[in-house]
């Protein structure tokens, strides 16, 4: 696992807005036919707001289980939470799930580990259970970037492509979907997100590189940023 520590991904960004959470959960409901008896596991759950909201909306009988290496103080209390590296967790076959969600987390795991992880996750799925893996769109990505950020992002996206290819080879019957969310955000707010290194590609950059990037963003974007946050979804 990369030693990346992502703390500000869903810290008051569009990714934690009720609008985003609702449309993401609409997508989940449409594609998995979730009902109130579903047992759900979220790997790399962050603050757990997505499944917390889903749990209230569907009145889930069982609290979803979220796993993350970081335990945020403002984590959603409607989910059960385990602070652990998923790669260190021995997944007991006795605890089975109807839906396993891996949203924007698989790129932080080594390819060789991804294979092992998926094989062990398939074993803890109920008969009609599904695994949903979301990654950033690898071809028509619209995330606003500065030069160095784009370079790093493209590197990460080509890794994602490899991961998706590996998953397709392992599970040729997988289904592919896209989740698209229209983002409207002020340049000021987006710059704050860059300052707080909201995305993993920004974590290793120096303060100087971040500041240079912010200057580039200031010059090359209008006061309102409008773009589509597009995700690939693989259903196993």
Ligand X SMILES: C[S@@+](CC[C@H](N)C(=O)[O-])C[C@H]1O[C@@H](n2cnc3c(N)ncnc32)[C@H](O)[C@@H]1O
Task: Round to whole Å and give the CA distance between 53 and 58.
Answer: 9
Contact letters for ligand X, residues 101-130 (x by CB under 6 A): --xxx--xx---------------------
Binders of ligand X in range 9-38 (CB under 6 A): 9-10, 15
**If DSSP codes are grouped into helix, strand and coil, which group holds residue 140?**
coil
**Nearest distance, CB of residue 219 and ligand X, angstroms:** 27
Quote the tokens at residue 75: 């984590």
Q: Which DSSP letter does residue 106 get?
A: G
Nearer to ligand X, 1 or 218 (CB): 1
Quote the tokens at residue 83: 């602070």
Nearer to ligand X, 1 or 175 (CB): 1
Binders of ligand X in range 73-92 (CB under 6 A): 85-87
Radius of gyration of the chain (CA): 18
Nearer to ligand X, 68 or 76 (CB): 68
Quote the tokens at residue 208: 């100087």
SS (H, E, C) 182-213: EEEEEHHHHHHHHHCCCCHHHCCCCHHHHHHH
* Bridge partners, residue 176, by sequence: 234
Residues that contact ligand X, how many (by CB under 6 A): 20
Asked whether 143 and 166 are in contact (CB, 8 A), the reply is no
**Nearest distance, CB of residue 169 and ligand X, angstroms:** 22
**Sole binder of ligand X in the list 65, 67, 79, 153 (CB under 6 A):** 67
Q: Is 95 in the site for ligand X (CB under 6 A)?
A: no
The contact set with ligand X (CB under 6 A) reads 1, 6, 9-10, 15, 44-46, 67-70, 85-87, 103-105, 108-109
């Amino acid at each position: 696992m990369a030693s990346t520590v992502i703390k500000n991904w869903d810290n008051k960004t569009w990714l934690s807005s009720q609008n985003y959470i609702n449309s993401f959960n609409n997508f989940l409901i449409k594609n998995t036919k979730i009902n109130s008896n579903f047992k759900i596991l979220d790997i790399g759950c962050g603050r757990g707001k997505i499944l917390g909201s889903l749990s209230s909306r569907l009145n889930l009988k069982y609290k979803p289980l979220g796993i993350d290496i970081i335990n945020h103080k403002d984590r959603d209390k409607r989910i059960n939470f385990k602070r652990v590296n998923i790669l260190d967790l021995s997944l007991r076959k006795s605890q089975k799930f109807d839906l396993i969600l891996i949203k924007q987390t698989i790129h932080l795991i080594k390819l060789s580990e991804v294979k092992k992880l998926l094989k062990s996750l398939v074993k803890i799925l109920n008969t009609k259970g599904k695994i949903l893996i979301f990654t950033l769109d690898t071809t028509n990505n619209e995330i606003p970037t500065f030069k160095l950020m784009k370079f790093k992002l493209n590197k990460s996206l080509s890794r994602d492509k490899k991961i998706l290819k590996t998953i397709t080879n392992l599970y040729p019957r997988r289904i592919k979907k896209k989740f698209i969310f229209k983002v409207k955000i002020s340049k000021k707010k987006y710059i704050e997100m860059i300052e707080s290194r909201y995305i993993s590609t920004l974590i290793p950059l120096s303060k100087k590189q971040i500041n240079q990037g912010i200057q580039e963003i200031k010059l090359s974007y209008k006061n309102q940023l409008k773009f589509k946050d597009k995700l690939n979804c693989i259903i196993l």
